[in-house]
Structure 1
Amino acid sequence: MAPRHQHRLGRRKLLFTLGGAAVAAPAVAALAPRALAGTGTPAEAAALLPLTIVNDSGSFDNASVHVYIVGNQDGRQVRVTPDGTLAPIALSDNGADGYTDYAIGLAGSGETPLSLPYMSGRIYVALGHKLKLKVVTDGNGNPALQYPAGWVASDPNHAVLHDCAEFTYNSSGMFCNTTMVDMFSVPLSIRLTGAKDQTTGTLRPSGRADAFAAVRRTEVFAPLVVDDTRVIAPGHGLDAGLFPKDYFAPYIDEVWSTYTGRDLTVTTNAGTFTGRVRGERLTFDGPAPVSFTKPSTRDVLFCDGSLAAPNDGTTGPVAAVLGAGFNRSTLLSAPAQPTTDAASFYRTALTNHYAKAMHAATEDGKAYGFAFDDVADFASYIQDTAPTGIRLTLTPF
């Protein structure tokens, strides 16, 4: 078992690089105000990775698809321009309407060839309308880009059909994933070629409609479906008052009660940890002592708070396994974690039905339905240390 945060790229690592989960506020680190285009080393220039955008949506023509490549390079916030160069974001990029236009249009027909420089970031696609991205000033007086937060009703991009893939590309290779951690809207798949030929994120035929329908069928989760635009992840739904704050409380209480009188074991790359609830804390002995206070529903859904996973090789991996066990509802049925049999996931009525629906919609059963979905490699994540190309495909709706 190799939790994602032990890989070169994990969603949690990527979001840390980007400054935290995207919200309707500056969401990335500040940058030094200097031009980046043309300043890369010859090795970096030679390392441009061919990126192909393929519009197989069947619902939107190429002229209606807008691509945005934004992120960080060496701690500096950057974007890829339509001509393929890397440029810093700047307050002067805001137009008369107060927003930037970082959109990259697709070719008139067929596939669109682009290039990716070394950077860590996101590839956004917006359908029908452009995204409204604004450069603002962060607490240090530097420019910072506000990322779209489609799960926030007041966000200017709430009505725009959009989604993204995440990646880090550097001298060690390409590390990328599709994501449904925050929301699900546009079916996307990634094909990564190099030492291997890998694809992830592909939905089954009618997978999008099936995922929307599955979430709607579960009464508590139904308010997370926003028309035919997107499904909001339950953590964001909780923050918006659309999802009960105590949803997981009965399950959490039962886990705490069960492991007061018996052992829970968690095996990670560091070894096996053996834990029991002592004095209201789930305390583990093993390669290192680690313990956790009882999580809230929000902690479970965001895999944060008392389940936060520091990159320390001990507490972090155990927290990731616990977070996955809560979301997949396997902690009571399997006292030895992590469970690796997908057939045992989401079997109880009290479970993360959003993540369940996302996994059921994909061809290979892999999806990023919550932040620790990489535990036991069930996330829609691929990597290659010798990449030769990447294809991002908008698959049929």
Structure 2
Amino acid sequence: MAGIPQGAARRMSSPLSRRGLLRTAVATAVAVPAVGLFTGPAGAVRPGGKAAAGLPLTVVNNSGAYDNASVYVYIVGNDGTRQCYVTPEGELKPVQLSDNGPDGYTDYAISLTGTETTLTLPEMSGRIYVSCGDKLKFKAVDGGQGAALAYPAGWVSSDPNYPVVHDCAEFTYKGGAMYCNTTMVDMFSVPLSIALKGSKDQTTGTLKAGARARVFEQVRGVEAFSRLVVDDKRVIAPGHGIGAGLFDENYFAPYIDEVWSAYAGKDLRITTNAGTFTGRVSGDTLAFTGPAQVSFAKPTTKDVLFCDGALAAPNDGTTGPVAAVLGAAFNRTTLVSAAEQPTTDPASFYQGDLTHHYAKAMHEATEDGKAYGFAFDDVAGFASYIEDGAAQRMTLTLTPFG
């Protein structure tokens, strides 16, 4: 999720890159974050596993569906040198293969001590998972350069965590600064909100009353998306639905063809921090001139949904920002209607029958209209992402399921 100004998907770069996680998940059905955000020893695990003074994290159970004894928290990620997890005492410890128990899985679960449980976040980049009703099975595996974790893949029916209701928030905490978001890029299950107290008070991710049920109903009500709903457990993102045989791999093909046809005869202008790029389609290529020459092959539905493949965004300051805006416009289906991108009026997003109904439902569900429904949902500031350079406290709340 770094370098490009549009939001968490770049800001929280190497360890939990949205694009990197999704590529890994597509290839292996597990998400094993890479190392790389923190390069110096300040982020490393200290002798004995002790972490530097961290950020207070309060986990609040307002789910109304699960009692405190049935909710488990996991804080996992990396410190820039190795994959780690956080103990209930706030210690940052490296993942080791010996952490796997007799059942073959680790037990990094942190139990809630009441409706509000206060923990400590050390400097690291990672995810805060919550599971409801049962524990998650994280497996320590050989990552080639040390032990790594096979993360839950709730969109894979053979995954051991598939039966468990679970979800996560993502974060990077470094030098007193916190960057965090709720995410629906992979799936949606547990309604979560994040609050940050620091230089100002911020909240994001809060669902409207009854919105969880409405998301399930709304996605189930669109025939092309209906099979993405897994009972009352979760809604799988359509990109993962392709891999699971639950979503049409050619769903966006008519819209992609329409975009290609439209810009064979007129200019598409995309403005980024680097300047304005002007593009035209020729054959299977959309080529831009401007601050740099960048081009994109005609994407597939999978490319659009994962913001990858033909729409991959390198952290180069030119191709990356253009790809991000292009990916957002495809997912929001605003490319045909607006030749000047990015579009910033949410009333113009997700119009028509052929659109990203999953992301549409997520945005309609939240109080602030922000959600991470796809990897570049941060373009123009529509992701459920907040940051604070002088963070004092973070609160993660399981909001009502009803």
Secondary structure of 1:220 counterpart: helix
* 2:136 corresponds to 1:131: yes
Aligned in 2, Cα 1:276/1:16: closer, same or farther, shift over 3 Å?
A: closer
Give the CA deviation at 1:4: 2.2
Once the two structures are superposed, the pairs formed by residues 43-122 of structure 1 within 5 Å of their partners are: 45-46=52-53, 48-107=54-113, 109-122=114-127
**Whole-Å separation in 2 of the counterparts to 1:209 and 1:69:** 27
User: Corresponding residue for 1:177?
Assistant: 181
Q: Which moved more, 1:96-105 or 1:75-84?
A: 75-84
**Whole-Å separation in 2 of the counterparts to 1:336 and 1:26:** 35
Secondary structure of 2:214 counterpart: helix
User: Corresponding residue for 1:272?
Assistant: 276
Aligned in 2, Cα 1:19/1:370: closer, same or farther, shift over 3 Å?
A: closer
Q: Deviations over 1:278-315 (max 9, x none)?
A: 23210001110000000000000000000000011110
* 2:253 corresponds to 1:256: no
The match for 1:362 among 366, 376, 383 is 366
Contact persistence 1:177–1:382 (CA under 8 A): yes
- The number of aligned residues is 389
Contact persistence 1:189–1:395 (CA under 8 A): yes
- What is the letter of the counterpart of residue 137 of structure 1? D
Once the two structures are superposed, the pairs formed by residues 1-397 of structure 1 within 5 Å of their partners are: 2-4=5-7, 8-9=11-12, 14-15=17-18, 21-22=24-25, 24-25=29-30, 27-29=32-34, 36=45, 38=47, 45-46=52-53, 48-107=54-113, 109-140=114-145, 142-171=146-175, 173-397=177-401
**Whole-Å separation in 1 of the counterparts to 2:262 and 2:35:** 46
Q: TM-score, normalised by structure 2?
A: 0.92
**Whole-Å separation in 1 of the counterparts to 2:243 and 2:373:** 17
- What is the letter of the counterpart of residue 121 of structure 2? L
Give the CA deviation at 1:36: 3.2
Aligned in 2, Cα 1:210/1:25: closer, same or farther, shift over 3 Å?
A: closer
Aligned in 2, Cα 1:94/1:7: closer, same or farther, shift over 3 Å?
A: closer
Contact persistence 2:19–2:375 (CA under 8 A): no
Unaligned runs of 5+ in 1: none
- Taking only the aligned residue pairs, the percentage that are identical comes to 66
Q: Deviations over 1:71-107 (max 9, x none)?
A: 0002310000122111111111111111110000000
- What is the letter of the counterpart of residue 12 of structure 2? L
Instruction: Please provide the CA RMSD for this pair.
Output: 2.1
Secondary structure of 1:52 counterpart: strand
Aligned in 2, Cα 1:30/1:363: closer, same or farther, shift over 3 Å?
A: closer
Give the CA deviation at 1:137: 1.2
Q: TM-score, normalised by structure 1?
A: 0.93
- What is the letter of the counterpart of residue 27 of structure 1? V
Secondary structure of 1:63 counterpart: helix
Aligned in 2, Cα 1:367/1:26: closer, same or farther, shift over 3 Å?
A: closer
- What is the letter of the counterpart of residue 9 of structure 1? M
Secondary structure of 2:17 counterpart: helix
Aligned in 2, Cα 1:172/1:16: closer, same or farther, shift over 3 Å?
A: farther
**Whole-Å separation in 2 of the counterparts to 1:267 and 1:7:** 17
Give the CA deviation at 1:139: 3.5
- What is the letter of the counterpart of residue 161 of structure 2? N
Unaligned runs of 5+ in 2: 37-43
Aligned in 2, Cα 1:39/1:290: closer, same or farther, shift over 3 Å?
A: farther
Give the CA deviation at 1:14: 3.4
